[in-house]
Amino acid sequence: MLSTALLAVIFGGAAALIVARQRVQGTTLIAPWRWTLGAFAATAGVELLVIWQAVADPAAVAALRYGARMLLLCPAISLLGVKRPQDGPWNFIVLSLWGVLALPAAESLLLNTGQPLEIAGFFSWFALALLLVSLFNTLPTRHWLPALAAAGGQAVLLGEYLPVPLPKTAILNVTTGLGLLAAAALLYALQRPRKLAPSLDLLWLDFRDSFGLLWGLRIQERIQAAAKMYSWPVALHWSGWKTSNGAPLQDLPDAQRQELLATFRGLLRRFVSNEWIDSRLDSSDTNPQR
């Protein structure tokens, strides 16, 4: 019964992640999506090996589980480096960090065969820090519900490795953990587009929701610096664009508006394609550089 439920969760989660790919099309978020898919597949694959009794040694099972579940932290690390042009090479850094995190598993498999896997100190606290960073990066966006589900799934699957460990993971907890991850992917994939007319506000809000708090604050900082330098009477808030006198952005002088749009587009082009940007802009918004 449990194996049937686990199989349903695995295939459902994989399908949801494949559907979710369309949400990151045209952005550098394709790399975190790949890490997420790989982590889900690896974690599920180890459990299938256990169910099918392909791996019987308890020490080997513990090491494989630990190595696979450390991959669950990689999407959060990957997200930190999604700005072009370093987004490609950053994947090697993510892989290297996973290698460091997975060292206890490698040692257990290669050097201390039969010895129980012990996780403490740096590995536990680093895992907890990444879990919290990933959660708080997404909570201020409209994807807060998938973020909570994903954090819950990660906490269940990584619970025994955290500084204050949760009870040892049994097959039921594995199904729960993977089920929460699958639910997060499904919620993300099926979330409806924002009901807002194409505009600079829609462009900002979709970027903010896609890339989260850390990159959103970075873009805000760059826009505020540009506004101060060029004396634009605008500010970019978390909720959208505001002018100093409360007038709509459309009332700005055309030259000033085009400068603002060109600067904003230039910043976002480090993360998304021109097509992604244009699909969220009003037809009257043109790019003077194109």
Q: Which of 145, 171, 190 is the last residue of a domain?
A: 190
Domain boundary among 134, 167, 190: 190
240: left (phi over 0), alpha (psi -120 to 50) or beta: left
Beta-carbon neighbour count of residue 215 at 10 Å? 20
Q: What is the pLDDT of residue 6?
A: 82
| Contact status, residue 268 vs residue 219, Cβ threshold 8 Å | yes
Question: From CA 288, how far away is CA 290, in angstroms rounded?
Answer: 6
Domain co-membership, 185 together with 216 = no
Residue 288 resides in a domain: no
- d(CA 119, CA 138) in angstroms, rounded, equals 28
* Alpha helices for 71-199 (secondary structure H): 74-79, 87-101, 103-110, 122-138, 144-158, 171-190
Classify residue 103: in a domain, yes or no: yes
Say if residue 245 is in the same domain as residue 108: no
pLDDT for 194 equals: 85
Which of 134, 155, 190 lies at the terminal end of a domain, its last residue?
Answer: 190
Q: Distance between CA 196 and CA 181 in Å, rounded? A: 29
Residues 228 and 125 in one domain: no
Residues 171, 253, single domain; the answer is no
| pLDDT number for residue 52 | 81
Residue 148 near residue 140, CB atoms below 8 Å: no
Query: What is d(CA 190, CA 125) in angstroms, rounded to the nearest whole number?
Result: 33
Is residue 212, in this structure, part of any structural domain at all?
A: yes
Q: How far out from the chain centre does Cα 15 lie?
A: 18
Instruction: For residue 284, tell me if it sits in a domain.
Output: no
Q: Rounded to two decimals, what is the model's pTM?
A: 0.90
Give the pair of three-digit tokens for residue 252: 């700005």
Residue 287 lies in a domain: no
- Regarding whether 32 and 139 lie in a shared domain, the answer is yes
Residues 127 and 91 in one domain: yes
| 256 and 128 belong to one structural domain | no
Helices (H), the chain: 2-20, 30-51, 58-70, 74-79, 87-101, 103-110, 122-138, 144-158, 171-190, 200-230, 254-268, 274-278
Question: Cα separation of 205 and 238, whole Å?
Answer: 8
Whether residue 24 is found in the same domain as residue 51: yes
Q: SS3 for 272?
A: strand
Look up tokens 């982590």; give the residue: 39
Task: Tell me the pLDDT of the chain (290 aa) as tens digits.
Answer: 557 888 889 999 999 999 999 999 999 999 999 999 999 999 999 988 888 887 777 888 888 999 999 999 999 999 999 999 999 999 999 999 999 888 888 877 777 655 666 676 777 888 899 999 999 999 999 999 999 999 999 999 998 888 876 666 555 688 999 999 999 999 999 998 888 888 899 999 999 999 999 999 999 999 999 999 998 999 999 999 998 877 778 778 888 889 999 999 999 999 999 999 999 998 766 444 44
Does some domain include residue 286? no
Whether the CB-CB separation of 284 and 199 falls below 8 Å is answered with no
225 and 160, same structural domain? Answer: no
Let me know whether 81 and 222 are in one domain.
no
Residues 13 and 75 in one domain: yes
pLDDT at 165: 67
89 and 211 housed in the same domain: no
Domain count, the chain: 2
Whether the Cβ atoms of residue 217 and residue 136 lie closer than 8 Å to each other: no
Q: Which domain holds residue 73?
A: 2-190
